[in-house]
Amino acid sequence: MTGKIAILPAQVADQIAAGEVVERPASVVKELVENALDAGARTIRIALENGGRTLIRVSDDGEGMTRADAELALARHATSKIRDAADLIGVGTFGFRGEALPAIASVSRFQIETSADGKTGTRLDVVGGQLEERADAVRQQGTTITVRALFFNTPARRKFLRAPPTETRAALEAVTLLALTRPEVAFAFASDERVLLDVGPAKSGIERVHALWGRELADTLLPVAHREGPVEVTGFVQRPAQAKPAGRKGYVFVHGRPIRDPFMVRAAEAGYRSTIAPGDRPSVFLFLEVPGDAVDVNVHPAKLEVRFRDKYFVEHVVQEAVRAALAPLEAAVPVGETAGVRFQVPGFGGSGETLEIFSGEPGSPLTPDTRHLTPLFQVFDTYLLLQHDSGLAIIDQHSAHERVLYETVMRQLTGDGAPAQRLLLPLTLEFTPPELEAIERHRELLLRVGYEVEPFSGRTVVVQTAPNPHPRFDAARCLQELVADLAGNRFGGLQNRLERFAATFACRAAIKAGQRLDPEESRELVARLLAATLPAHDVHGRPTIVQLPKEELERRFGRS
Ligand SMILES: Nc1ncnc2c1ncn2[C@@H]1O[C@H](COP(=O)(O)OP(=O)(O)O)[C@@H](O)[C@H]1O
Ligand SMILES: [Mg+2]
């Protein structure tokens, strides 16, 4: 009697593996382009026809394969990239599973043309996993893989293909991700002969972002460079004031490998706390480096996910990295669209060298050294004009004071509380029932910022003490507005209750637009703003400072 268990023929096993690795044309494109990068290609061309249904072709100028290697590459678990399981730790190549080529070849009409020396070459034709023909071929060093009739022998899968434009878009997205992580490599992508992407070799990550999406995006990005313990985060994040509710780009890479990790993107967003308007979504491009043994890259067949040994720590570092990027005054919005604030930014891809965004002289950073700051004057009773070493800054007095108060109040709420003044004549104020309820819920927090509020009778409360954040402070009006905001949940976008309260208080207690300040007050406000952690942003996602670089003035007046 024969047993009931049989080992599946290799071809069937490959088709099953294909189910995981080769989900759709985009996954074929991703695997083939990754192979080209692993082979050291400097230029990679991708062509699709009919959304990849009829044809996917990836050509590279990488190291190529000998005939023997090309035949071996088609066998399952054949890889040149690791030799044993220990090599998986900190693996530096995209591939290591040795599954992609046999899986793709088992569900298509597949052709390899390759040469390892630019003189002799090989062509292999495979149909549904069966080697049909091997022949000599003439070509330069490198490899071209052509995949026709994808899923011709797996009709169920073929049925699941989406409309060609959708598949094309997914494939383009896969190439874009790889183009971001390898700026030094040139990429061209054409679909039905239309060129959808064509980028030459770039010197830095930001140059690549520029080539992919133009200045419009690149100019709004701030460099990230942060390390905590063994975790390093580099890349770019968008200035809070330039984030929009839709169309953001959120990319996370680990060891240069694109990963899908909504939690990491969320951690980055948490770093924006209190600088961004509710509903706005900033673009982020983050490159994480963690020690090889602190991350497992082999947890997903298409390698789209990784597992961190301490995910919460990594999320914490990402959040801090974003916060640190928003902290310097360079984060202030420049005047005009193409004023081109210049930053020193670290290169992508772990190269570590410092490169400059775009051309021009290195920008002189704004130093928060108040001795060199000359408040010029207040204009429109709303803005403070300020000269500093590298240009002119225009500060919105309300936004600035709001940021200062927000940070002060956060410290008071978590520390000893604010100094309060006992009012000589206690205030009596009337509120609506929902407002009275909001007062009740926030009594402790109100006390911490200096408001001692007691119920009196009916809808009336008595205010015994009040804060005094500035000389023009109107204690009654501030409390009324604050309580109305709290009742209406005005800062509902902020997750944390303390942050919500602090933002509301700061907004209402701050110096208002239209209030005249004397030079001493202006000077003090500016000094306190520059000492804040996130000076360039108010708590609504608006800028507090707009920069007019000196070079820009010189350019406009024809002095340079
Ligand atoms: N474009 C290419 N250029 C040179 N060698 C390649 C190329 N594509 C695949 N190979 C070789 O074929 C092997 C198998 O590829 P693949 O099935 O994708 O597995 P993996 O990438 O996991 O090693 C690779 O390890 C590599 O040696
Ligand atoms: Mg591979």
Ligand 2 center from residue 34 Cα (angstroms): 6
CA dihedral 535, 312, 231, 406 (to 10 degrees): 10
Q: Is the pTM of this model over 0.85?
A: no
Sequence-ordered list of residues with C-beta below 8 angstroms from that of 203, at least 6 positions apart, any chain: 183, 184, 347, 355
Query: b or e along 102-126 (b: 16 or more beta carbons within 10 Å of the residue's beta carbon)?
Result: bbbbbbbbbbbbbbbeeeebbbbbb
Ligand 1 center from residue 97 Cα (angstroms): 10
Instruction: Please report the atom of ligand 1 found closest to the CA of residue 99.
Output: 17
Contact 532, 544 (CB under 8 A): no
Structure-token pair, residue 23: 């989900």
Quote the distance between the C-alpha of residue 393 and its chain's center: 27
The CB density around residue 158, as the number of other CB atoms within 10 Å, is: 14
Per DSSP (E only), the strands in 239-300 are 250-254, 257-259, 284-289, 295-296
Q: How many helices (H) and strands (E) does the chain have?
A: 17, 25
Instruction: Please report the atom of ligand 1 found closest to the CA of residue 96.
Output: 22
**What's the burial of 516, exposed, middle or buried (CB within 10 Å: 0-12/13-18/19+)?**
exposed
The pLDDT value given to residue 495: 66
Instruction: Please report the atom of ligand 1 found closest to the CA of residue 93.
Output: 21
The pLDDT value given to residue 17: 72
Ligand 1 center from residue 76 Cα (angstroms): 11
Please state whether 98 falls in left (phi above 0), alpha (psi between -120 and 50) or beta.
left
The pLDDT value given to residue 335: 67
What ligand has the least distance to the C-alpha of 100?
Answer: 1
Instruction: Please report the atom of ligand 1 found closest to the CA of residue 78.
Output: 14
The CB density around residue 3, as the number of other CB atoms within 10 Å, is: 5
Name the residue at shortest CA distance from atom 8 of ligand 1.
Answer: 35
3-class secondary structure, 84: coil
Ligand 1 center from residue 127 Cα (angstroms): 19
Q: Can you tell me which residue has the tokens 């494939």?
A: 171
Name the residue at shortest CA distance from atom 21 of ligand 1.
Answer: 95
Nearest partner of 46 among 174, 141, 161, 210, judged by Cα: 174
Ligand 1 center from residue 205 Cα (angstroms): 26
Residues with C-beta less than 6 Å from any ligand 1 atom = 31, 35-36, 39, 60, 62-65, 73, 78-81, 95-101, 143
The pLDDT value given to residue 342: 33
The pLDDT value given to residue 185: 98
- Report the DSSP pairing between strands 284-289 and 250-254: parallel
- Report the DSSP pairing between strands 452-457 and 460-466: antiparallel
Ligand 1 center from residue 186 Cα (angstroms): 20
Per DSSP (E only), the strands in 335-390 are 344-346, 354-356, 374-379, 383-388
Most informative mutation of 69, 101, 303 for ligand 1 (most atoms within 8 A of CB): 101
Q: What values do phi and psi take at 48, rounded to 5? A: -125, 145
3-class secondary structure, 241: helix
Most informative mutation of 58, 79, 146, 178 for ligand 1 (most atoms within 8 A of CB): 79
Name the residue at shortest CA distance from atom 4 of ligand 1.
Answer: 64
What ligand has the least distance to the C-alpha of 76?
Answer: 1
Quote the distance between the C-alpha of residue 55 and its chain's center: 33
Contact 224, 232 (CB under 8 A): no
Ligand 1 center from residue 80 Cα (angstroms): 7
Find the helix packing angle between 497-509 and 475-488, rounded to 10°.
140
pLDDT beneath 70: ranges in the chain: 1-2, 335-376, 493-495
Q: How far is CA 509 from CA 42, 405, 466, in A?
A: 58, 8, 11
Instruction: Please report the atom of ligand 1 found closest to the CA of residue 31.
Output: 18
Chain segment 520-537, per-residue pLDDT in tens:
888 889 888 888 888 888
Ligand 2 center from residue 135 Cα (angstroms): 23
Per DSSP (E only), the strands in 170-318 are 186-191, 194-199, 221-228, 231-238, 250-254, 257-259, 284-289, 295-296, 307-308
Contact 237, 222 (CB under 8 A): yes
Find the helix packing angle between 397-414 and 497-509, rounded to 10°.
140
